[in-house]
Amino acid sequence: MTDRPFRRLSPLTPVVRGFIVVVAAGTTVLRDVTRGDLGPAAVLLGMLLVGGGVFGIASWYRTKFWIEADELRVDTGVISRQSRRIRIDRLQGIDIVQPFVARLFGLAELRMDVAGGHAREGSLAFLPLGEARELKDLLLTHRDEVRARTAPPEARLAVEGPAPTAEGATPTPQSAPVAAVPAPPGPERVLARVDLGTLMLSTLLSVETIVLVVLGTGLLAVFVASGEWLGASAVAPLLAGLGVVLFKRVSGNYGFTVSETPAGLQVRRGLFDLTAQTITVARIQGLVVTEPLLWRWLGWSRLDVSIAGYGDSSEDEGPAPSTVLPVGQRAAVAFLARHVLAGDEVAQATLHPAPRGARWAAPVGWRYMAAGATDRLVVSREGWLTRRTHAAPHARVQSVRVTQGPWQRRLGLADLHLDSPPGPTRVRARNRVAAETREWFDVEVRVSREARRRLGRPASPSVPPSP
């Protein structure tokens, strides 16, 4: 091999990867060996263990990574060799994930998010936690250096997209003229934290839980009333299933902390599987504030963001990488929302409700549909049980659409959609008066064009000082 200073993953990697096999084989084989007779199952498991072990060790041995000419190179493969090059200036974010087993060994996985890639293409699993953190900081610092020295801002705009605003849009006190100097891995400031009580209560109060509990109680009542005690036991798996789902949510969001670091927003969460995720504020395409029915009485809501390249993963209410705050008081959510949108205020938008005629198109929902805009944002709200407020900056709108179905045409209504990259954000003004929709469409086409231009001008002070 060559003498380049490559690094290897943690030698414990094969153990973590095959932990289940190791444990199963270990216990079975050991028991049989001590008893002195090896059954066929034990032999099979033993062979699997040995084979897997050899492969795992070989795979670990052949996996090397190093930084070379602004690229992170990862060589892998036992039988067929692969060499992956990840351009450091293309790195969008780096997450540190600790699955439960890895955590037992103090290891972590480094996941790199690359611009243009749909999936997270680069992953280094597993590294000792300290080394993972150090490598993450190193890569992010290196990225900022590369970005600062290559390409003038305009060119970067064309190639890179999110990069240029990384300087302007993060309203960190110390990162105002950040362009040239890579921010040191400085202190982080905690913006919000979710305590266990709030998290558990909020999980219990979700709409699905209520529905399930009502259903379960109903069933139970029926069985008890009819004296069919055996039937009542049928409710047990339902409740057990519910318990598992709830527990997953709580454990996934356990110890949820959002803090501000020079590299972006950092989200940390997890009871068993620890996740630390860095979100570059400049990559945020829009946000959603979700308020389920029961939360509204407590003044709680959830904040999700759309991040370019992350895709749509937040539909299933579970712990998702798009969640910036799983539950919080309105004020806390508003504060984070303002932070995420670089100082823009969602609450400033005057939302215009859908016209009365819309009740024929959406008999219940029309009361809750509303949309409006500010100088910088387009905002829409809908939902009866679960209210969602979507907001996206004009400058981030990808395309503007008007749609109209046959029934809407009869009623003289139309929908206006402001398309965002895949993610939870979906700003749309549904069931508006047709003429007004077209007017708004034309205005939005113009406004978003101007907003894009402002964004494109490198030196523009597009961000007001954060309050």
Partner 1 sequence: MNDLFAPPGNEWRPVSPQLGRMRRTVLAVLVAVAVVVSLTAGLVLGLLGWFGSLAALWLVLGAAGWVVIGRNARSWGYAERDEDLFIKHGALFRELVAVPYGRMQFVDITSGPVEQLYGVATVHLHTASASSNARIPGLPAAEAARLRDRLTQLGEAQAAGL
Closer CB to partner 1, 226 or 403, in the complex: 403
Size of the site for partner 1 (CB under 8 A): 42
Candidate residues 89, 109, 160, 260; the one interacting with partner 1 per rule CB under 8 A? 160
Q: Is 216 in the site for partner 1 (CB under 8 A)?
A: no
Min CB(85)–partner 1 separation in Å: 22
Q: Contact region for partner 1 (CB under 8 A) — 15-23, 207-215, 248-256, 402-410?
A: 402-410
Closer CB to partner 1, 35 or 410, in the complex: 410
Closer CB to partner 1, 234 or 435, in the complex: 435
The number of CA neighbours under 13 Å toward the Cβ of 173 is: 5
Candidate residues 403, 460, 461, 466; the one interacting with partner 1 per rule CB under 8 A? 403
Q: Is 396 in the site for partner 1 (CB under 8 A)?
A: yes
Q: Helices (DSSP H) in 172-329: which residue ranges?
A: 196-204, 207-225, 229-232, 235-252, 293-298
Q: Which residues contact 183 (CB under 8 A, 6 or more apart)?
A: 141, 144, 172, 174, 175, 262, 263
Candidate residues 260, 437, 440, 447; the one interacting with partner 1 per rule CB under 8 A? 437
Candidate residues 125, 132, 135, 157; the one interacting with partner 1 per rule CB under 8 A? 157
Q: Contact region for partner 1 (CB under 8 A) — 23-31, 260-268, 364-372, 403-411?
A: 403-411
Q: Is 120 in the site for partner 1 (CB under 8 A)?
A: no
Q: Contact region for partner 1 (CB under 8 A) — 198-206, 236-244, 287-295, 432-440?
A: 432-440
Task: Provide Rg for the chain, Cα atoms.
Answer: 26
Q: Which residue has the tokens 């109060």?
A: 205
The DSSP call for residue 171 is: -
Closer CB to partner 1, 160 or 344, in the complex: 160
The DSSP call for residue 89 is: G
Q: Is 322 in the site for partner 1 (CB under 8 A)?
A: no
Min CB(139)–partner 1 separation in Å: 21
Q: Is 431 in the site for partner 1 (CB under 8 A)?
A: no
Q: Is 417 in the site for partner 1 (CB under 8 A)?
A: yes
Min CB(290)–partner 1 separation in Å: 20
Q: Contact region for partner 1 (CB under 8 A) — 59-67, 269-277, 350-358, 436-444?
A: 436-444
Question: What span, in angstroms and rounded, lies between the C-alpha atoms of 17 and 433?
Answer: 58
Amino acid at 174: Q
Give SS3 for 414: strand
Min CB(311)–partner 1 separation in Å: 9
Measure the CA angle with vertex 167, ends 162 and 168; round to 5°.
Answer: 95
337: left (phi over 0), alpha (psi -120 to 50) or beta: alpha
Question: What span, in angstroms and rounded, lies between the C-alpha atoms of 402 and 226?
Answer: 55
Binding positions for partner 1, 282-301, rule CB under 8 A = 283, 285
The DSSP call for residue 84 is: E
Q: Which residues contact 355 (CB under 8 A, 6 or more apart)?
A: 413, 431, 432, 433
Closer CB to partner 1, 8 or 401, in the complex: 401
Question: What span, in angstroms and rounded, lies between the C-alpha atoms of 239 and 213?
Answer: 8
Closest CA to 359 of 429, 431, 410, 416: 431
CA end-to-end distance (rounded Å), the chain: 56
Question: What span, in angstroms and rounded, lies between the C-alpha atoms of 358 and 433?
Answer: 8
Q: How many residues does the chain have?
A: 467
Question: What span, in angstroms and rounded, lies between the C-alpha atoms of 27 and 36?
Answer: 14
Q: Is 165 in the site for partner 1 (CB under 8 A)?
A: yes
Q: Is 409 in the site for partner 1 (CB under 8 A)?
A: yes
Q: Contact region for partner 1 (CB under 8 A) — 72-80, 94-102, 153-161, 290-298?
A: 153-161
Min CB(405)–partner 1 separation in Å: 5
By the criterion CB under 8 A, which residues form the site for partner 1?
157-158, 160-165, 283, 285, 308, 395-396, 398-406, 409, 414, 417, 419-422, 426, 434-435, 437-438, 441-442, 445, 448-449, 452, 455-456
